[in-house]
């Protein structure tokens, strides 16, 4: 058996063992919530499903179809990119479900599964999908899975520190997801490809067709990004604001990307890579402040600024990092997730400082009058219907 | 006029006559529900629309875009596959609407049209779209339409026998839709291409690009499958459970497909055809048990098993059937819809037997307290709001 | 600096100035609605979000992904078509937001932003995206932006005249959007390319692959069209009717397109261009009558008729207009938006006349019992929950 075939046998063994262990874990510990059959409870659950499920589906489309297509910009690697993205998502969601269940939801020897917990696991899985961008097309599927196994617990720890210990509100995951996964991915890339200053592989030059497919992926992500940012917000004003802020930021970053890219390229042409990434930079940056009560102009400005740093990152910082520190960042995740994420974090500090001067709390997050229901996202809606 | 042009004239004549007859039928018998203008009724209808329409749109995307793209894996047949799938869907929905209206909803000489009836017709049309997979690229559009004309009434009869007479609950259509349409399609294929052991047509070899588009179709189907399974469930716990079970089953079948396919292929490579079909096998199998109160591990196990039988079917059973019984099954519908469907049916028998031992009925389907509203799917939500 | 580079510098300057002015405008005049933190208001806003946002996302997918892909039928112009469509949409939405804010929503020196106002601006932006079809691939991005700047205020004026002054109800924008933007676009095309009878550019011949992508765009538009027509309807019966009427009209126009196109083409083949456009003609025509209480057969008939005029337009009228009046209409917007729109307008006149004879008002638009809430689209739902 030649070595390449040998390594190919590793993947099914690895995944098979994982699936077997998962079955065992589910058999022992996971159950559905046995809600009472009373009419009020039925209506409550129904309303929670109706208020969460459309957002959930939007996010699934983003991650499975949108992100998958975005990664097909390497023409010969298209099918693999789509497949690896899909596999990694599923694997990471289930792995996160297990870990989060053990850490947070383990009561009386059981974990009660619901749509909200799946959604939270999906958020954890996003970190893996982002980090992979740094080593796209260079790592074997097994290496990607090992990365996923390591990244999810590190993410859960970091998220616990940031949200629970430091009390940072980050509904859109700007810091907990985007900044974290960017530097995790860069670290993995550095670790895996430390010594080798590889030349550009021929399959790494996008063609006009692969750029088109990749842009379709960007547009799908662009359209559904507000759902990603707003799904975990408090229903009502906060969620409404999060949707609007995200829409404004993404509009601004798309236009600013065109401006910045055209000005920086020598022939004045818009670079496809800039457009595919810069249009989304606003969504990355806005996450941490999306539901705060700030003036709409702040969302616009943040979107514009994040597109500028993203394009500048692609044009100047990335080549510098590659040459000086021999960083490999295949998809430019540092420009899309790292820099705009840091910008968003800075913006949230400013917002909190400004708000604390105004005496009106920045996050007007009173617990909803309903309380006591596990699905934060659906509280206010399901609640007061008697 | 050469014969090929002659046969091409048949299609518009056929469709034109159908559309004319449909206009006549609608003019004579179809009306909208003249709901009263009272405030409570308005709210009821509005809630029914909001709770059904997003699911309905998801299913439309699945059938028109997802399934259409999945069928474009034959490179030269891509445009036709997309077009034929689209046409057949519309034709079959309208034909099913007429037949179901006559059979079930004909009161005082009128059929009252609503979104729920369109949805039910859409389910009937799915059978045609599945059966077509057996003869994709080999039959003329007119042959496909004749097949649709015959299949819809047979489906309605078989569904009536299974659901009404035998009392089988099958929210996701595992038996009534998938198993039925698989064997119907294989029968048609056998009937049409009985004698001819045709060699593989050159346009029947997928390229890497057509495989990519087809995989995008698979992913769209994969993402929206929970909507298909859950749309007709009782709102509340049952619908919530159906969504979760479907998600678990589809996760499991995607991972298991990779395991099984890589182990079975000699070079350890993942076969695109296996991935495109096996990932969906869990959704096929879970339909009949999705809303039952069973432990989550059962959904995972069923998803894994169905992927195994699907891949085994592609690898061993399909070539055998083709050689021994000269069955033509272009898209492998027997592997995706037949085998997993039978597995799901067997699982439902087990579930019912286990549940009857537990004394807790497997389907905890008490009629909702609202009652009396025609749209089963939206009862509990719209209902108790005073 | 050569002239082509010079003109390329114009685009970033133009967009940069616009974005700067927008930031200034937002800083001075735009704020979020500071809704009270009372429980009832929170529930009201939450319900408005849940009843509007899924429709809004559907429309975003239509415009960004569906329409973008539809325009990629020119093979070498695919990436640019997708990009220009995206940019123009964002630009026009923001420009419409500013103008509509100044005209309609300027109270006490402030404009209160909400999802409904963004939706209305999106409708205004659609006119630009349609008009662009007439000059696709022939105009520079700057020319397109100048067109957008001029078209939005003209649209707002024309919409004000038609809806407010003349009292025409046009929920789906048949007259205000489709007919208006068609003739605006043709006028621009005539003005820009008056003298030059340009030969067909080689990049203007679709290939089988570009036709496939374009058909995918059509199918996405086809699936989500009911959301576009129904989003601004009164919730309850009117919205339900609008969804059903649009579904019926689009079904009918897809089938009729196949009939008409196959009969008219000499070899009996279905023309991809006809299918890509004719399938949508029913959606264009139905908009103005979608929520009226008319029998379902009227929607079917209108869908069929509009497909016929669309295909006839492509086959006979467009070549005639091109030759006689030297009209350039790259995408055939006159056939898809002009003729079916006029047909829909005529149908609405008939519907109003018939209804006035029946003494039952055609639009049964009593103000919802809630009243006083700014989001017309969500009134009845959020309202009566105590």
CA distance C184 to B66: 35
Contact A65 B216 (CB under 8 A): yes
What distance in Å separates the CA atoms of residue C114 and residue A243, rounded to the nearest whole number?
10
Q: Are β-strands C106-107 and C110-113 bridged in parallel, bridged antiparallel, or unpaired? A: antiparallel
pLDDT for the residue B197: 53
Chains with ≥3 CB–CB distances under 8 Å to B: A, C
- Which residues in chain A have Cβ-Cβ distances shorter than 8 Å to B255? 15, 18-19, 87, 90-91, 94
C173: left (phi over 0), alpha (psi -120 to 50) or beta: left
Of B32, B45, B385, the CB nearest to C385: B385
Q: What is the mean pLDDT of residues C104-116?
A: 85
| Euclidean distance between CA atoms A136 and B3, whole angstroms | 53
- For C49, the closest chain B residue by CA position comes to B50
**A86: chain B residues, CB-CB within 8 Å:** 219, 254, 279
Predicted confidence at residue C365, as pLDDT, reads: 37
What is the distance between the terminal CA atoms of chain B, rounded to a whole angstrom?
Answer: 68
B contacts of A32 (beta carbons < 8 Å):
241, 244, 293, 295-296
Task: Work out whether strand B111-113 and strand C110-113 pair parallel, antiparallel, or are unpaired.
Answer: unpaired
CA–centroid distance for A14 within its chain = 25
B90–C219 C-beta distance less than 8 A:
no
Q: What percent of chain B has pLDDT over 90?
A: 55
**pLDDT reported for residue C305:** 96
Report the relative pairing of strands C30-32 and C110-113 from DSSP bridges: parallel
pLDDT of residue C5: 60
CA distance B156 to B163: 10
Q: What residue in B sits closest to A382 (Cα-Cα)? A: B381
Under 8 Å CB pairs connecting chains B and C tally to 159
Of A220, A259, A369, the CB nearest to C19: A259
Set of chain A residues whose Cβ sits within 8 Å of the Cβ of B237: 35, 37, 41-42, 45
CATH architecture of B54-193+206-358: Orthogonal Bundle (1.10)
pLDDT beyond 60 at C47: yes
Checking if the pLDDT of C3 tops 80, the result is no
Instruction: Residue B293: list chain A partners with CB under 8 A.
Output: 32, 34
Residue A30 Cα, gap to closest chain C Cα (Å): 31
Q: What is the pLDDT of residue B381?
A: 37
Rounded Cα distance between A191 and A178, Å, is 20
Q: Is the pLDDT of residue C60 over 50?
A: yes
Which residue in chain A has the smallest CA separation from B304?
A19
Contact C384 B26 (CB under 8 A): no
Please choose, from the candidates A225, A227, A144, A224, the residue with its C-alpha nearest in 3D space to the C-alpha of residue A189: A144
User: Which of B232, B236, B304 to probe by mutation at the A interface, max A CB count within 10 Å?
Assistant: B236
**Cβ contact B364:A37 at 8 Å:** yes
Give the CA distances from residue A251 to residues A302, B118, B383, C21, in Å, rounded to whole numbers and listed in that order. Answer: 11, 37, 40, 14
CB contact under 8 Å between C300 and B22, yes or no, is yes
Neighbours of B30 (CB within 10 A): 22
Query: Distance, in angstroms, between A372 CA and closest chain B CA?
Result: 18
Q: Do A272 and C79 lie within an 8 Å CB cutoff?
A: yes
pLDDT band at B2 (very low <50, low <70, confident <90, very high): very low
User: Do residues C110 and C29 make contact, with C-beta atoms less than 8 angstroms apart?
Assistant: yes
Residues β-bridged to residue C142:
none
Which of these ranges, A57-61, B325-329, C15-19, C220-224, has the smallest mean pLDDT?
A: B325-329
Integer-rounded Cα Rg, in Å, for chain A is: 21
Query: What are the chain B neighbours of A19 within 8 Å (beta carbons)?
Result: 252, 255-256, 259, 304
A341 to chain B, closest Cα gap in Å: 28
The chain A residue lying nearest B57, using CA atoms, is: A54
Q: Which residues of A touch C35 (CB under 8 A)?
A: 236-237
Contact A151, A129 (CB under 8 A): no
**Entry pTM:** 0.91
Tokens of B305: 């098993």
Chain A positions in Cβ-Cβ contact with residue C50 (cut-off 8 Å): 50-51, 235, 381
Whole-number Å distance between alpha carbons of C126 and C118: 12
Across the interface, do A385 and B380 touch by the CB < 8 Å criterion? Answer: no
* CB-CB under 8 Å, A258 with C11: yes
Across the interface, whether the CB atoms of A26 and B296 are under 8 A apart is answered yes
Of B54, B83, B93, the CB nearest to C54: B54
Contact status, residue B138 vs residue B330, Cβ threshold 8 Å: yes
Q: Lowest mean pLDDT: which of A357-361, B44-48, B134-138, B373-377? A: B373-377
Q: Do B255 and A41 touch (CB under 8 A)?
A: no
Asked if A383 and C65 come within 8 Å (Cβ–Cβ), the reply is no
Smallest CA–CA distance, residue A224 to chain C, in Å, is: 7
Confidence category of residue C106, pLDDT binned at 50, 70, 90: confident
Report pLDDT digits (tens) over B105-115: 777 888 999 99
Q: Which residues of A touch B240 (CB under 8 A)?
A: 45, 48-49, 114-115
Q: Quick check: B368 pLDDT over 50?
A: no
Highest mean pLDDT among C46-50, C119-123, C234-238: C119-123
Residue pair B220/B61 in contact (Cβ under 8 Å)? The answer is yes
Q: What is the pLDDT of residues B70-80, one digit of tens each?
A: 998 887 788 88
Q: Chain A residue closest to B381 (CA)?
A: A43
Which DSSP state fits A161?
A: I
Q: Sort out which chain B residues have CB atoms less than 8 A from C267's CB and list them.
A: 5, 8
Helix extents (H) in chain A: 3-29, 39-60, 67-70, 78-104, 115-132, 141-159, 180-192, 208-230, 237-264, 272-286, 296-312, 318-325, 333, 339-358, 379-382
Q: How high is the pLDDT of residue B204?
A: 64
| pLDDT higher than 90, residue C381 | no
Element containing residue B322 per DSSP (H, E): helix B318-325
Distances from the Cα of B292 to the Cα of B94, B139, B169, B234, B246, angstroms: 31, 40, 9, 11, 12
Give the nearest chain C residue to B25 (CA atoms).
C297
Q: What is the mean pLDDT of residues C79-92?
A: 93
Alpha carbons B57 and A53: distance in angstroms, whole number: 13
CA angle B77, B173, B65 (to 5 degrees): 30
Q: Which of C37, C90, C385 sits opposite A385 (nearest CB)?
A: C385
A112/A101 Cα distance (integer angstroms): 8
Q: Which element (helix H / strand E) includes A113? A: strand A111-113
Nearest to A12 by CA among B64, C281, B268: B268
Token match 């995740």: residue?
A333
What residues in chain A have per-residue pLDDT under 50? 1-3, 202, 359-386
Instruction: Tell me which fold the domain C54-195+204-359 belongs to.
Output: Ammonium transporter fold (1.10.3430)
Strand order in the sheet with C106-107: C30-32, C110-113, C106-107
ipTM for this model: 0.90
Reported as a pLDDT band with limits 50, 70 and 90, residue C375 is: very low
Distance from C-alpha of A329 to C-alpha of A322, rounded to nearest angstrom: 8
Q: Do A16 and B268 touch (CB under 8 A)?
A: no
Q: Strand (E) positions, chain C? A: 30-32, 106-107, 110-113
Which range among A381-385, B129-133, B207-211, B351-355 has the greatest average pLDDT? B129-133
Q: What fold does the segment set A55-195+205-361 form as a domain?
A: Ammonium transporter fold (1.10.3430)
Of C16, C64, C118, the CB nearest to A247: C118
* pLDDT at res. A385: 34
Predicted pLDDT of residue B6: 65
Q: Are C278 and C307 in contact (CB under 8 A)?
A: yes
Calpha distance C78→A247 (Å, rounded): 25
Q: Assign A82 to helix, strand or coil.
A: helix
**Cβ-based contacts under 8 A for chains A and C:** 158
Q: How far apart are CA C134 and CA C187, in angstroms?
A: 9
pLDDT for A4: 59
**Shortest alpha-carbon distance between residue C151 and chain B (Å):** 32
Coil vs helix vs strand at A110: strand
Q: Which range has the worst mean pLDDT, A214-228, B259-273, B341-355, C154-168?
A: B259-273
**Element of type H or E holding C82:** helix C78-104
C-alpha angle C96-C97-C101 in degrees, rounded to nearest 5: 115
Candidates B370, B382, B381, B377; CA nearest to B115 is B377
Contacts of A360 (CB under 8 A, 6+ apart): A293
* Cross-chain residue pair A90–B254, CB shorter than 8 Å: yes
Q: What integer pLDDT is reported at residue B35 of this predicted model?
A: 63
Mean pLDDT for B175-190 is: 93
Ordered by start, the domain boundaries in chain A are 55-195+205-361
Residue C30 DSSP SS3: strand
CB contact under 8 A, B381 and A47: yes
Residues of chain C with Cβ-Cβ distance to B68 below 8 Å are 216, 219
Q: Which of B20, B83, B94 to mutate to test the interface with C (most CBs of C within 10 A)?
A: B83
Mean pLDDT, chain B, rounded, equals 85
Among C288, C292, C283, C280, which Cα is nearest to C239's? C292
Within 8 A by CB and 6+ apart from A321, the residues are A327, A329, A334
Mean pLDDT of the region C291-306: 93
Cross-chain CB nearest to A296 (options C31, C72, C83): C31
């Amino acid at each position: 058996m030649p070595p390449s075939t040998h390594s190919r046998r590793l993947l099914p063994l690895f995944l098979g063992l994982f699936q077997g262990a998962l079955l065992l874990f589910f058999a022992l510990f996971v159950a559905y919530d046995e809600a009472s059959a009373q009419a009020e409870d039925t209506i409550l659950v129904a309303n929670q499903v109706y208020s969460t499920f459309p957002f959930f589906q939007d996010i699934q489309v983003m991650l499975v179809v949108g992100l998958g297509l975005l990664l097909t910009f390497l023409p010969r690697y298209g099918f693999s990119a789509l497949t690896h993205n899909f596999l990694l998502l599923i694997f990471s969601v289930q792995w996160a479900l297990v870990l989060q269940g053990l850490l947070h939801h383990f009561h009386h020897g059981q974990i009660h599964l619901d749509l909200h917990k799946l959604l939270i696991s999906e958020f954890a899985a996003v970190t893996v999908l982002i980090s992979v961008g740094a080593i796209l097309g260079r790592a074997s599927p097994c290496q990607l899975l090992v990365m996923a196994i390591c990244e999810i617990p590190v993410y859960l720890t970091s998220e616990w520190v940031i949200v629970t210990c430091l009390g940072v509100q980050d509904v859109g995951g700007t810091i907990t997801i985007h900044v974290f996964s960017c530097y995790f991915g860069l670290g993995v890339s550095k670790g895996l490809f430390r010594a080798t200053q590889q030349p550009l592989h021929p399959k790494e030059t996008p063609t006009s067709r692969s750029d088109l497919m990749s842009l379709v992926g960007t547009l799908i992500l662009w359209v559904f990004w507000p759902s990603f940012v707003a799904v975990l917000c408090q229903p009502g004003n906060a969620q409404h604001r999060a949707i609007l802020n995200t829409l404004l930021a993404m509009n601004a970053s798309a236009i600013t990307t065109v401006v910045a890219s055209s000005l920086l390229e020598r022939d004045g042409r818009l670079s496809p890579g800039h457009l595919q990434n810069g249009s989304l930079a606003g969504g990355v940056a806005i996450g941490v402040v999306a539901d705060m009560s700030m003036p709409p102009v702040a969302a616009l400005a943040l979107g514009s600024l994040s597109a500028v740093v993203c394009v500048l990152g692609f044009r100047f910082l990335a080549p510098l990092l590659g040459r000086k520190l021999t960083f490999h960042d295949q998809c430019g995740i540092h420009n899309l997730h790292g820099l705009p994420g840091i910008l968003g974090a800075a913006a949230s500090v400013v917002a909190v400082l400004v708000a604390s001067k105004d005496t009106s709390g920045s996050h007007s997050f009173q617990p909803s009058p309903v309380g006591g229901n596990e699905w934060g996202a659906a509280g206010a809606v399901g609640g007061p219907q008697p």
